[in-house]
Amino acid sequence: MVVRFQPVSHFFNEIDSIINSTAVPFPFINSINRAGRFGGVSVKESGDQVQVCVELPGVAKQDVNVSVNDGILTISAERREPELKGEEQWIRNEITYGKFERTIDLPFSVDVEKVSAEHENGILQVILPKHENAKPKQISIR
Amino acid sequence: MTKETLEKKQNYTIVPAVNITETAKSYIVSLDMPGALKENIKANIENNTLFISADTVENSLHGVSDVAKQYRREFSLANDIEANTVEARYELGVLTVTLNKKEQFLPKQITIK
């Protein structure tokens, strides 16, 4: 599987190293690093299926949308900012809120009817069974 | 990421992002810890410091679990916190710890006679 070059994360690392090298630390900008951004994706493939996991902490089940269309898996979600109650006030806010969407090109055909998804402990897990045609086949030698 | 670094993914530590809010009576600390299991989360207060840690397990395709990463973060507490009444709740991958303020630090309404 091809992993694409991600100039954006390099850019953030660059900024982080500049900020970290200054004499006065500025904690809020520091958190621009990975922490606080949600939607990290991991993809695992085995002979007959692919498992896609997305980190979606604090996202309610009804705010997650998963669809497979024409060989493309689309996952979208929204993390809503909690409302402060009464006299409650912010001291620190490192967590990012908002909309998330990610599309993943599936390099094989998928049995759309059997795709399953579950959302537990802030992780969305999608299991995509491969279509019969896409599964590896053992060819017996006569 | 090369295949080699993917394999090395096991056992690395993440500092979870945190939100802290304050009310008149308490501080509310929320940490993003997706993938942790409630029974694996440890939260304790020692020497005026709140320690939070958790191991996460990632379900592999064959049902075998392996430790994917560890969350760790600590907070030094001000002296207005009542360490005996700390509450913690884990929901949707977010750990929320409520730290109540000590009685003598609560706002008081003074009645005028």
Q: Parse chain B into domains and list their residue ranges.
A: 7-97
d(CA A110, CA A39): 23
How many alpha carbons lie under 13 Å from residue A108 in its C-beta half-sphere?
18
Higher pLDDT: A127 or B109? It is A127
Per-residue model confidence as pLDDT tens digits over A110-124:
888 999 999 999 999
Pairwise CB contact (< 8 Å): A94 & B19: yes
Pick B16's closest partner by Cβ from A35, A92, A123.
Answer: A35
Pairwise CB contact (< 8 Å): A36 & B32: yes
ipTM of the complex: 0.75
- In chain A, what residues touch B59 (CB-CB under 8 Å)? 51, 125
Question: In chain B, whose CA is at the least distance from the CA of A125?
Answer: B59
As its CATH architecture, domain B7-97 has Sandwich (2.60)
Question: In chain B, whose CA is at the least distance from the CA of A122?
Answer: B93
Q: Hey, which residues 7-36 in chain B have their CB within 8 Å of chain A?
A: 14-24, 27-28, 30, 32-36
Which of B91, B62, B1, B31 lies closest to A41 in space, CA to CA? B1
Q: What confidence tier does A36 reach under pLDDT thresholds 50, 70, 90?
A: low
Report pLDDT for B59. 58
Contacts for B76 with CB less than 8 Å, ≥ 6 apart: B48, B49
Domains and CATH numbers, chain A: 1-35 (no CATH), 38-81+95-134 (2.60.40.790)
d(CA B52, CA B31): 9
Share of chain A above pLDDT 70, in %: 75
